[in-house]
Structure 1
């Protein structure tokens, strides 16, 4: 496996970006699969514009990618990003967030837009 060296300045930017609890949790949730903005709104009990702002910052860094399906936009981790191996090492240290998605399913909110 080829190892890519990341500059300290770039690592500092990534760590600052992931230093936000909401964005870090989003990344861990996405580590398990794609999610729609509306699902994050329910999980974090935040407004859609606030969620979109967090996702935009992750997308601007190339850590997440979006895919439109009808009127819905789904986000997933960008495994082709140069920082993916580094970010994965961080995410692997975190506890699972699958319970948040299971709670949405129980409430019938996971499938409401999918």
Structure 2
């Protein structure tokens, strides 16, 4: 993969966006698992509108993409966005969040979106 150089303004915007703990955690989770809004609401104990707002900001920046699966919309990390190299580098320094997914599965909440 070729190293892509970002303009300072774009890099600063992405870093500001990911400076939010909830969004950074979402991105780390999405790097290995697709998730829906209802799963994030359970994980973060936040309202659906609050989670949707975080998702919208990430989607608007092109960092997150969505796929419809039946009645559910699943979100994943967009590996084709212009910030992929920067995000991948950043995520290498963040602990995985698989425990949050595992906890959802144990509570039976992960399967509600299948």
Q: How does 1:51-66 map to 2 (within 5 A)?
A: 51-66=51-66
- Displaced runs of 4 or more, over 4 A: none
Aligned to 1:5: 5
Q: TM-score, normalised by structure 2?
A: 0.97
- Structure 2 stretches lacking a partner, 5+ long: none
Aligned to 1:16: 16
Aligned equivalents of 2:2, 2:73: Cα separation in 1: 33
Task: Give 1:39 deviation, angstroms.
Answer: 0.4
**Within the alignment, does 1:103 sit opposite 2:111 as a pair?**
no
Residues paired across the two proteins, number:
114
* RMSD after superposition: 0.7
Aligned equivalents of 2:55, 2:6: Cα separation in 1: 22
Task: Give 1:95 deviation, angstroms.
Answer: 0.5
Q: How does 1:1-114 map to 2 (within 5 A)?
A: 1-114=1-114
Task: Give 1:113 deviation, angstroms.
Answer: 2.0
Task: Give 1:69 deviation, angstroms.
Answer: 0.9
- Structure 1 stretches lacking a partner, 5+ long: none
Q: TM-score, normalised by structure 1?
A: 0.97
Task: Give 1:84 deviation, angstroms.
Answer: 0.5
